[in-house]
Homo-oligomer: A and B are copies of this chain.
Amino acid sequence: MKKEKPTTSLGYALLGLIHLQPRSGYDLRKVFETTPMGHYSSSPGAIYPALKRLEEAGLIRGKVAGRKSMRPKRIYSSSPEGVKALREWVSQPLTMDDFVHRDDELMLRFALMGSVVDDAVTRQFLEQMLEILDAYIPELRQILAEMPEAGPPHGRLALSSGIEMYMARRRWVRKALAEFAPDETKRRKE
């Protein structure tokens, strides 16, 4: 095995779900089809090759269940190398580029964080988010203010939608941070 890391977020989504509990390719497709979790493809032509890559990289291991049938069902579970790769991925420092170009990936990282890192990493992640939002929102406001008033308002409205989304995200970050506060009397796990 070549110890390579996944190159796309689909790989990490699969790895993370498998780490939460062992699943088959079909199980994973159902997750993508039926839950709001990740808007990933769910097409067999994406899932099965991705699983094969993860297994070849040694990040997951498949065991055949139900030997009785011709078409064996493979149940994958995460390997220690897989958990390590996942932990490294979620712990990466945030960049503004992540925000602008890969927002979904960022939330996927957050969602998968719970099972592989401790709360300090989560807090760091959220604090970095806050920092970036505090830098980025005013930038967007500036661009909005400089947009010409003439012509159809669609462009300005689309941008203001973006700004309002980021503001909603910012409120959420503060709420989430409160839930992970290190020195709260009322800690998590109640």
- In the complex, the answer to whether A151 meets B114 with C-beta atoms within 8 Å is yes
For residue A47, CB closer than 8 A to chain B, the reply is no
Q: Cβ of A113: which chain B residues have Cβ within 8 Å of it?
A: 152, 154
| A116 CB to nearest B CB, Å | 10
CB-CB contacts below 8 Å: A141-155 with B: 143, 151-155
Total residues of chain A contacting the partner, CB 8 A? 38
For residue A101, CB closer than 8 A to chain B, the reply is yes
In the complex this chain forms, how many copies of it are found? 2
Give the nearest-CB partner of A155 in chain B: B111
CA distance A161 to B172 in the complex (A): 6
- In the complex, the answer to whether B35 meets A114 with C-beta atoms within 8 Å is no
Give the nearest-CB partner of A112 in chain B: B154
CA distance A76 to B112 in the complex (A): 44
CA distance A16 to B38 in the complex (A): 28
Q: What are 27 A-B pairs at a CB distance below 8 A?
A: A35-B143, A36-B100, A36-B140, A37-B155, A39-B101, A107-B161, A107-B162, A110-B154, A110-B158, A110-B161, A111-B157, A112-B154, A114-B152, A114-B153, A114-B154, A114-B155, A115-B152, A122-B154, A153-B179, A157-B176, A157-B179, A161-B169, A161-B176, A164-B169, A165-B165, A165-B169, A168-B168
